[in-house]
């Protein structure tokens, strides 16, 4: 007699989540297993808010955006409960037992890998499936959601061309990516942006302004700048490094708390960064400039064919692992196949764009300014 499989979706939603839920539920049903979904991420697990993912419930969801289970950014070990923040991992383990689960499958990004690992330490069998439009989960070639967001961001770059051209303007397009520039780089290359800025390469204002001016001198009196929300100038990057070293050097708990708050404030001023960039370029080049922030449009709507395929591939492979009782792993995409990567190897790491990545080389080869 086999137990049930639990599933939850956590972190920012990502196109392809429903396709993965459907793949897991259908594959598990073929084994005669019951699949129980928990609503709104780890909060639903704590509160035992469930939905039985029968074949009726998962029917017709392959093409739907978002997640039918709902999601949240709640962390099991730091859960706001009333006016307090509590470690609720034990409670979650009780709910796991009460539902007679063999395994809990957590669909999420970098934070979810860590949270799932925390539950594993509590004795739960867990498997994770990586998703995020940012494509920055360590240990997997790619995450689902990225391809859809890449398509949306590329279309935005395409569309901005005609209006920037007509008005002889610089248009700065901010795309998502707090810590990594996969989306900005991919959409920038695919859409033909003139400048691409990302967190991995702190930019020099003057270098960017010069690139735009060179275009004007060559008779191209408009420019498109694709920028990841977490991109920072060299000065900004220096300030962040100093804030980080203040945390490391803090002598007391209070000092550390204050230094952390300062870092968080600097990091949260991302819209401010892009606005400053837009205004700074206008001042330095004398060209009228506008800012477009694409925001959550990138996470919405129906998943691309590529994301549906990837989510289905990872979802079915996940059930294979359940059959083998391989737990404590993330189902990573590796070429056309999958690999079970131990969670210990994934947590606390991030897949950033390496300086020698082929996309970086290609961007430079076609004359894109990367701000350095």
Which residues participate in catalysis according to the annotation? 134
CB of 13 to ligand F6P, least distance (A): 8
Question: Nearest Cα to 286, choosing from 170, 172, 178, 367?
Answer: 170
Closer residue to ligand F6P, CB minimum distance, 78 or 178? 178
Query: Both ends of the chain: CA-CA distance in Å?
Result: 60
Closer residue to ligand F6P, CB minimum distance, 59 or 268? 268
CB of 107 to ligand F6P, least distance (A): 13
CB 293 within 8 A of CB 274: yes
Angle at alpha carbon of residue 322, lines to 319 and 324, rounded to 5°: 115
CB of 147 to ligand F6P, least distance (A): 14
Question: Nearest Cα to 55, choosing from 26, 89, 91?
Answer: 26
Residue of minimal Cβ distance to ligand F6P: 176
CB of 177 to ligand F6P, least distance (A): 5
| Residue ranges binding ligand F6P (CB under 6 A) | 12, 109, 132-134, 176-178, 229, 299
Q: Which residues, at least 6 apart from 91, have a Cβ–Cβ distance to it below 8 Å?
A: 46
Closer residue to ligand F6P, CB minimum distance, 4 or 179? 179
Three-class SS state of 104:
strand
Closer residue to ligand F6P, CB minimum distance, 176 or 198? 176
Q: Is the dihedral of CA 24, 26, 31, 36 positive or negative?
A: positive
Tell me how crowded residue 237 is: count the other CB atoms within 10 A of its CB.
15
Q: State which H helix or E strand residue 324 sits in.
A: helix 305-324
């Amino acid at each position: 007699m086999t137990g049930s499989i639990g599933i939850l979706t956590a972190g920012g939603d990502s196109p392809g989540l429903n396709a993965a839920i459907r793949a897991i539920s259908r594959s598990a049903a073929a084994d005669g297993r019951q699949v129980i979904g928990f609503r709104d991420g780890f909060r639903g697990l704590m509160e035992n808010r469930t939905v039985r993912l029968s074949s009726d419930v998962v029917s017709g969801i392959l093409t739907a955006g978002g997640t039918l289970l709902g999601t949240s950014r709640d962390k099991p070990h730091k859960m706001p409960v009333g006016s307090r923040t509590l470690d609720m991992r034990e409670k979650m383990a009780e709910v796991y037992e009460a539902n007679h689960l063999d395994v809990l499958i957590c669909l999420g990004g970098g934070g979810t890998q860590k949270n799932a690992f925390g539950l594993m330490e509590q004795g739960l069998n867990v498997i994770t499936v990586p998703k995020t439009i940012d494509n920055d989960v360590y240990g997997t070639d790619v995450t689902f959601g990225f391809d859809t967001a890449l398509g949306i961001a590329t279309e935005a770059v395409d569309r901005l061309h005609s209006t920037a051209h007509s008005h002889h303007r610089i248009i700065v397009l901010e795309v998502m990516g707090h810590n990594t520039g996969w989306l900005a780089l991919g959409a920038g290359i695919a859409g033909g942006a003139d400048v691409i800025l990302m967190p991995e390469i702190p930019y020099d204002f003057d270098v960017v302004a010069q690139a735009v001016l060179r275009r004007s001198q060559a008779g191209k009196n408009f420019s498109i700048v694709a920028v990841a929300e977490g991109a920072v100038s060299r000065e900004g990057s220096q300030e962040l490094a100093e804030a980080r070293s203040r945390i490391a050097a803090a002598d007391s708990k209070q000092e550390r708390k204050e230094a952390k708050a300062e870092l968080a404030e600097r990091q949260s001023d991302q819209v401010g960064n892009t606005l400053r960039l837009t205004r700074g370029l206008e001042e330095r080049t004398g060209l009228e400039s506008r800012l477009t922030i694409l925001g959550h449009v990138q996470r919405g709507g129906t998943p691309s064919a590529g994301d549906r395929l990837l989510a289905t591939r990872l979802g079915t492979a996940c059930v294979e692992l359940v059959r083998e009782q391989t737990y404590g792993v993330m189902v990573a995409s590796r070429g056309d196949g999958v690999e079970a990567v131990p969670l210990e190897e994934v947590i606390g790491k991030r897949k950033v764009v390496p300086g020698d990545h082929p996309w970086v080389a290609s961007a430079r080869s076609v004359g894109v300014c990367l701000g350095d």
